[in-house]
Amino acid sequence: MALLAAGITAAASVAPASAKTDIKAALRPFACNLDTWYNDVPFNERFARAAADGFINVEFWPVRREGLDARKARALLDANGLTLTQYAPTAPNFSDPGQHDALLDMIRQAISDSAIMGNKQITLVGHHIVDGMPREAMLAGYTAGLMRIAPLLEQAGLMALVEPFNTVNHLGHLLNGSRPATAMLRAVHSPMIKLQWDFYHMQLEDGDLIEKFTAGIDQVGYVQLGDVPGRHQPGTGEVNHVNLLKAIRAAGYKDPMGLEYYPLDNDHGRAVRDAVALSLAANL
């Protein structure tokens, strides 16, 4: 693992940041996650921190918390020159068909909030295991829920990103790794329901990152990064992110990638420098 981590560090050093580096341009391919970054300050203060470090794109988890709502979040985004790529409204456990009405209500609220904040995507989970329900029934329930919300999303032009987890440290969920989620979304067949391809989860659950991503690219709506082990920034673990990011672009994914990881040792300055070096080394 140490050799692999050293490998990405060496690769990143091919294109090191310098005094002439345009930090904002280097960070443009990324979206800073405001729930995993800057958590040494209150959430409302993290927008300014991200902007000061050079980010222009951000993402976060629920918007409705700590007195925050969509309008207040939009004001913070605008004040700091930030664009929201996506956020994660709290979803009911709609593997259970009895939760489908609650799911529809949540989607309607997310459509309204997204229109205010300007994001075009939301992350959708809601696939907790339902005690006493067979796996086949849960898969059918989740699929049916996606089909019920598809017309609403398509009409609004809002993409829902189904996020599979992993069975190492995210226990109790129906969808883990790239399968069966890829097959499920192909069956749903909606342009507004795609996968949140979180490489942290995919590495823990699947491995074989490049081939599986390339095979599933038709269902990828958004990408998130995080190294293994530890869920820190690329370069701190076992994944060669320079090769990975080149493969992501080669597969056709051109949108921002979410940095949903915890900066090592809470050192945000280092995490920013590492993100800039990665962007340069991968020619993003």
> Would you name the residues annotated as active-site residues?
163, 260
113: three-class secondary structure by DSSP: helix
Residue type, 99: Q
> How many CB atoms are closer than 10 A to CB 104?
16
Measured distance CA(70)–CA(49) in Å, rounded: 19
Torsion sign, CA atoms 274, 280, 283, 284 = positive
Structure-token pair, residue 9: 């560090």
DSSP labels for 146-166? HHHHHHHHHHHT-EEEE--B-
Structure-token pair, residue 238: 């076992």
Measured distance CA(44)–CA(209) in Å, rounded: 35
What residues does 197 pair with on adjacent strands?
Answer: 223
Residue with structure tokens 């790794």?
177
Q: Where are the beta strands (DSSP E) in the chain?
A: 30-33, 57-60, 83-87, 121-124, 159-162, 193-198, 220-225, 257-259
**Is 48 in contact with 80 (CB distance < 8 Å)?**
yes
Helices 135-156, 181-188: crossing angle, 10 deg rounding: 50
What residues does 31 pair with on adjacent strands?
Answer: 258
